[in-house]
Chain A
Amino acid sequence: MEYESFESALEDLKNIVQKFENKNDITIDELLDNYEKGMIAYTFCMRKLDDTQKRIKIIDEKMT
């Protein structure tokens, strides 16, 4: 699953966390499904942040 933006990925990640907090019984399939979705959202967000960080560094080097 590809996200359109960092914000939508982060939103998903927060929702998954929420699910864990609220649900006491959870099926194994749901568990795996949530885990996978959560890790995908996390990775997307992390990559986006890494990328942003790199670009900020490049911009700062160029402009000063």
Chain B
Amino acid sequence: MKIKPIKVSVLNQYIKKYLMGNSILNNLRVEGEITNIRMSKTGYTYFSLCDESSCINCIAFFADSISKNGDKIIAEGELSVYEAKGTYQLIVRNIERIGLGKILLDLELLKEKLRSQGLFDRKRELPAFPQKIGIITSKSGAAIKDILKTFEGVKANIDITVYNTLVQGEKAKESIIEGLKYFNNIETEVVLISRGGGSFEDLNVFNDIELAMEVYKSKAVVVTGIGHETDRTLTDYVADIYCHTPTAAAERIIRGYKDVEERLNNLLFALKSGTNNVISLKKADLMSTKYILKSSLPLEDIYKTKAQLEIHKNFIKNETFKYINEYYLALKIMGEKLNSFDYKKQLKKGFAIISDNTGNIIKYKDQVAMKDVLQIRFADFKIEAETIDIKEV
């Protein structure tokens, strides 16, 4: 007995019903490598999932902008039959990445390419005291708080502008590029591109070639402070200065101000200690001068000078009185001479003056001793006589 033939569509309907009744096929996790990936205009993603020997068609009813050919994934979904063509496919609800080998490889290739073009070599110095600083980050992110907190520590009037952007996802790139253009237009000195930590995929926007090129074009010095769990992004490589965290980047930008504070403190210290040293030296100098002054003993000098004065005074007195005495003596002699003229009158009357050999006139008995030679003076002559007897009269 022959089996009754059925129509193709019935067969396909049957297969569909059969397969959909299978609980295993309704909830699948299939591991494979993406090939032939393409997007439809309606925003669906089509690709094939393959291993070394076999492939299956896949459709995701969402736009997958990350996945590329070669990506190893686990596709979660269910099996479905396309009745019109009698084919089956995997309806993908979620794509789980198990290896980014190829992406990283691609990124590495891109890095090498940019490196060889010299895009990583342009490292400009930060201005010592930047006054106009632009920050490109998300206003609602973690990074901005850390950055502003760091800038608060600076005691200087700096102009800080925050350009609010997305920092992950499809639209982030455009938004960050706009921010860079904005800051370059208003002649900002330093632009900080920042976001908090994230996974490789979160940070993948910073591996974008267009963004990297825009960073390279920037007239403002570009500093990155992107929280990294993985390797440096392209943006980090192209930027003038790269820091591991938003805080580190902010600190680097205001380092000049911090240094100046420290330098000022050092100068102040040097000034103070220098002044104190000079004062100490002067004091010591003064002390020794005072000592010298004291040891010069001015009173002693005065005593000496006084003694000298006394000597002078006494000398003058003595001399004066000496002269006066001399005059006095001379006068006395002359007076006596005058008197002696009177004796002559007496002598002429017969009186005589008896004196000893030295001219002393004999008036008393004790002026004469036996045998003394006496001079007896008369008016017109004199006699030299010897004493032979002395008697009281």
Contact = CB atoms under 8 A, between A and B. Distances in A.
B105 interface: no
A42 B312 contact: yes
Interface string B278-314: 0000000000000000000011001001100100110
Contacts of A42: 309, 312-313, 316
Contacts of B306: 46, 49
Contacts of A49: 302, 305-306, 309
A17 B315 CA distance: 7
A53 B302 contact: yes
B330 to A, nearest CB: 12
Give the interface size bracket for B toward A.
10 to 19
Contacts of A26: 323
B187 interface: no
A56 B309 contact: no
Interface class of chain B by DSSP: helix
B87 interface: no
Contact of A39 (B299, B302, B313, B327): B313
Contacts of B317: 35
A39 B316 contact: yes
Contacts of A31: 320, 323-324
A17 B309 CA distance: 11
Contacts of A3: none
B121 interface: no
B313 A52 contact: no
Contact of A20 (B298, B299, B316, B327): B316
A28 B327 contact: yes
Interface string A25-42: 010100100110011001
Contacts of A35: 316-317, 320
A53 B316 CA distance: 25
B259 interface: no
B319 A20 contact: yes
A14 B316 CA distance: 10
Nearest to B321: A35
A56 B299 contact: yes
Interface in B61-98: none
Nearest to A49: B302
Interface in A1-56: 10, 13-14, 16-17, 20, 26, 28, 31, 34-35, 38-39, 42, 45-46, 49, 52-53, 56
A41 to B, nearest CB: 8
Contacts of A53: 299, 302
A49 B298 CA distance: 10
Nearest to A37: B316
B316 A17 contact: yes
Contacts of B324: 31
Interface string B245-279: 00000000000000000000000000000000000
Given A31-B320, A35-B320, A52-B302, A20 B309 contact: no
The 4 closest A-B pairs by CB, nearest first: A20-B319, A38-B316, A35-B320, A42-B313
5 contacts: A13-B309, A31-B323, A38-B316, A56-B299, A56-B302
